[in-house]
Amino acid sequence: MKTAYRIALGIVGNHDDALELSQESFYLAYRNIKMLKADRSFFPWFYQILRNVCFSHLRKRRRNREMAMGGESHGEMIAAEGDWFSPEAVIDRDEKKDAVWKAIGKLRQIHREVIVLWHFQDMSYDEIAGVLYCSKGTVMSRLHHGRKNLKKIMSKGGLLL
């Protein structure tokens, strides 16, 4: 459950949504377990359900936000962590984390998901390739381009840390 929650949090960037989406994914997996082929591992199959649920949620959220804002869109990623030293340091760290999550939220989905799996789930290239059903080279390429685009997004916003 923790892994599913963390992956969902990395994709959607919101604690409450991540909790709800990971639970919804487990429910969908339970209802559709008969579709899992005997020769396939559970996690890659489950990951596809989880990512589809998360990306569907993001599409709905983006449409709702665009309608509410008259067509304008901006990222809304939130990262949460405990207190650390002085209040000023906490505020500074929180602002930096928010900036990073906002920048990650602006990435294309294929880049966002490999960054989340590599950096936040500590998965290897081979593990990521297994859950995404692509080659190791594709994972490496997406990670490279995702990092490159993340750096551009952060530097445009004056957010380079």
Q: In this predicted model, what pLDDT tens digit does every residue of 85-141 receive, in sequence order?
A: 445 655 666 677 777 878 888 899 899 999 988 888 888 999 999 989 899 999 999
Number of domains in the chain: 2
Question: What residues make up the domain containing 28?
Answer: 1-74
pLDDT at 84: 38
| CATH number of the domain bearing residue 148 | 1.10.10.10
One-letter amino acid at 150 equals: L
Instruction: Indicate if 53 and 101 belong to the same structural domain.
Output: no
Q: How far is CA 16 from the centre of its chain?
A: 14
- For residue 58 the two structure tokens come to 């993001």
Domain boundary among 74, 95, 116: 74
d(CA 118, CA 150): 14
With a pLDDT cut of 90, the percent of the chain lying above it is 32
Angle at 72 between CA 160 and CA 142, to 5 degrees: 45
Residue 78 neighbours by CB under 8 Å, 6+ apart: 13, 14, 15, 98, 101
Output phi, psi for 124, to 5 deg: -80, 170
Instruction: Indicate if 69 and 97 belong to the same structural domain.
Output: no
Quote the pTM value.
0.57
pLDDT at 93: 62
Instruction: Indicate if 68 and 91 belong to the same structural domain.
Output: no
pLDDT in tens, 33-82: 999 888 888 988 999 899 889 888 888 887 776 666 554 433 333 333 34
Instruction: Indicate if 105 and 57 belong to the same structural domain.
Output: no
For the cut 90, the answer to whether the pLDDT of residue 30 exceeds it is yes
Instruction: Indicate if 55 and 88 belong to the same structural domain.
Output: no
